[in-house]
């Protein structure tokens, strides 16, 4: 493959970091955005520790989702943009706009800059949160054709932010995009090897299990995908002709209960997983607790319900072949085990 010039937004992020590693490994030239050049040494060091090669092909620029400054320079001369940066704050937040505004307005900033710079394609990281929230529990098989119902039960600020940002992106492409192509990625709960000190994505679940912060688990089911496969799907979508104008749901296999995730961690880590919970909290107790604890209320609508997902389109169009969820869970646990004491 001819090396491409690729801008990756949010270089310090979990998915973005894995995208950068794989892009460099494949010989591409990467420009990555950070909010301050003071962070460059730390981010570069994290990537180096994670096995980065061709580091001379990576450079950093300053750009913030909340400001127009820097975006024209960031996209200048780029062939492709992977817009990965977005606030990740699932659950209850004090002010929903703290999540929604940066996600939506930041996405539009990136798209405008990419269009004006004549970038060929933007691959946008959306989320399963833009697909399956607010729907009835009727056994529906979720695909890329589905959208989250914003007025449905259990839709939090993060779900709203991902849905509104992606819808705004498609509206922009339809009305103002010119020749810019857009592809969106819809990963389910992302787990896998942690890089650096920060823990993000669904790896928080694994961390809380390991450090004892989650002594019991609610009867919730989580569909899991490996971060390395999420990154590879982004890269496959950069040049695949069939990916233009398409959404891709990134999942693999049935959703796992939190209790099953704990069992996987214990089987892999042994004594290092001694704090991982074994007991499941009855649904009625979760419902009672949610009356007094606002952070638990979003969980109530999904108690005992395992959402079904299809990755047929990603396999068929992109040639994507993801790992089993167990691999992502174990990789996350192994990279976190030394931190919990």
182 HSE (CA, 13 A, CB side)? 26
What band does 26 get if pLDDT is binned at 50, 70 and 90?
very high
- Backbone φ and ψ for 146, nearest 5 degrees, come out as -90, 150
- Residue 340: pLDDT band with limits 50, 70, 90: low
Torsion, Cα of 174, 61, 77, 244 (10° steps):
-30
194 vs 202: CA distance, rounded Å: 11
- Confirm whether 313 is domain-assigned: yes
The percentage of the chain sitting over the pLDDT mark of 90, rounded to a whole number, equals: 82
**Pairing assessment for the beta strands 5-8 and 29-34 based on DSSP bridges:** parallel
Is residue 64 domain-resident?
yes
Q: How confident is the model at residue 201 (pLDDT cuts 50, 70, 90)?
A: confident
Is 219 exposed, middle or buried (CB count within 10 Å of its CB: 0-12, 13-18, 19+)? middle
Query: Model confidence at 158, in pLDDT bands (50, 70, 90)?
Result: confident
Residue range(s) defining the domain that contains residue 48: 5-199+225-254+308-324
Please report which helix (H) or strand (E) contains residue 331, including its range: helix 325-336
H or E element, residue 187: strand 181-187
Q: Are 323 and 252 in contact (CB under 8 A)?
A: yes
Check if the beta carbon of residue 330 is closer than 8 Å to that of residue 276. Answer: no
Output the pLDDT for position 182.
98
What is the Cα–Cα distance from 28 to 59, expressed in whole angstroms? 12
Does some domain include residue 280? no
Q: Can 160 be counted among the known catalytic residues?
A: no
Name the token pair of 123.
Answer: 């691959």
In whole numbers, what is the pLDDT of the chain averaged over residues? 93
pLDDT digits (tens, 9 = 90+) for 115-149: 999 999 999 999 999 999 999 999 999 999 999 99
CA distance 264 to 328: 11
Q: Identify any residues that bridge with 6 across adjacent strands, giving them in sequence order.
A: 30, 80
Read off the pLDDT band of 290 (50, 70, 90).
confident
- Tell me whether residue 269 is in a domain: no
From the list 160, 162, 259, 313, the catalytic residue is: 162
SS (H, E, C) 115-143: HHCCCCEEEEECCHHHCCCCCCCCCCEEC
Is 214 within the bounds of a domain?
A: no
pLDDT of residue 90: 55
User: Is residue 290 situated within a structural domain?
Assistant: no
SS3 32: strand
Say whether pLDDT at 89 is over 60.
no
Question: Residue 157's domain is classified under what CATH number?
Answer: 3.40.50.720
Question: To the nearest whole percent, how much of the chain has pLDDT over 70?
Answer: 96
Give a yes or no: residue 193 inside a domain. Answer: yes
Cα–Cα distance measured from residue 130 to residue 208, given in angstroms and rounded to the nearest whole number: 25
pLDDT at 87: 64
Q: Is residue 220 assigned to a domain?
A: no
Q: How far is CA 157 from CA 102, 130, 290, in A?
A: 12, 11, 17
């Amino acid at each position: 493959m001819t090396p491409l010039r690729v801008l990756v937004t949010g270089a310090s992020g979990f998915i973005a970091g894995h995208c950068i590693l794989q892009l460099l490994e494949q010989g591409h030239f990467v420009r990555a955005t950070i909010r301050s050049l003071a962070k460059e040494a730390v981010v570069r060091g994290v990537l180096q520790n994670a096995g980065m090669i061709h580091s001379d092909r990576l450079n950093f620029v300053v750009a913030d989702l909340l400001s127009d400054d820097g975006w024209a320079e960031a996209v200048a001369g780029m062939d492709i943009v992977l817009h990965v940066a977005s606030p990740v704050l699932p659950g209850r937040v004090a002010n929903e706009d703290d999540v929604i505004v940066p996600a939506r307005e930041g996405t539009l900033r990136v798209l405008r800059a990419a269009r004006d710079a004549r970038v060929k394609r933007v691959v946008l990281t959306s989320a399963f949160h833009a697909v399956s929230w607010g729907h009835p529990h009727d056994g529906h098989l979720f695909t890329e054709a589905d959208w989250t119902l914003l007025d449905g039960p259990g839709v939090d600020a993060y779900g709203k932010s991902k849905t509104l940002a992606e819808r705004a992106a498609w509206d922009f492409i339809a009305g103002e995009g010119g020749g810019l192509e857009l592809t969106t990625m819809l990963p389910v709960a992302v787990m896998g090897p942690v890089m650096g000190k920060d823990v993000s994505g669904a790896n928080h679940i694994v961390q809380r299990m390991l450090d004892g912060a989650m002594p019991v688990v609610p009867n919730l089911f989580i569909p899991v995908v490996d971060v390395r496969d999420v990154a590879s799907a982004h890269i496959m979508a950069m040049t695949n002709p069939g990916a233009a104008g398409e959404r891709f749901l990134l999942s693999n296999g049935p959703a796992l209960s939190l209790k099953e995730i704990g069992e996987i961690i214990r089987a892999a880590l042994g004594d290092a997983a001694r704090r991982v919970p074994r007991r499941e909290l009855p649904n009625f107790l979760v419902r009672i607790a949610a009356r007094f604890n606002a952070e638990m209320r979003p969980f109530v609508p999904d108690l005992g319900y395992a959402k079904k997902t299809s990755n047929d389109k990603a396999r068929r169009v992109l040639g994507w072949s993801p790992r089993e969820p167990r691999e992502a869970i174990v990789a996350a646990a192994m990279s976190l085990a030394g931190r919990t004491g």
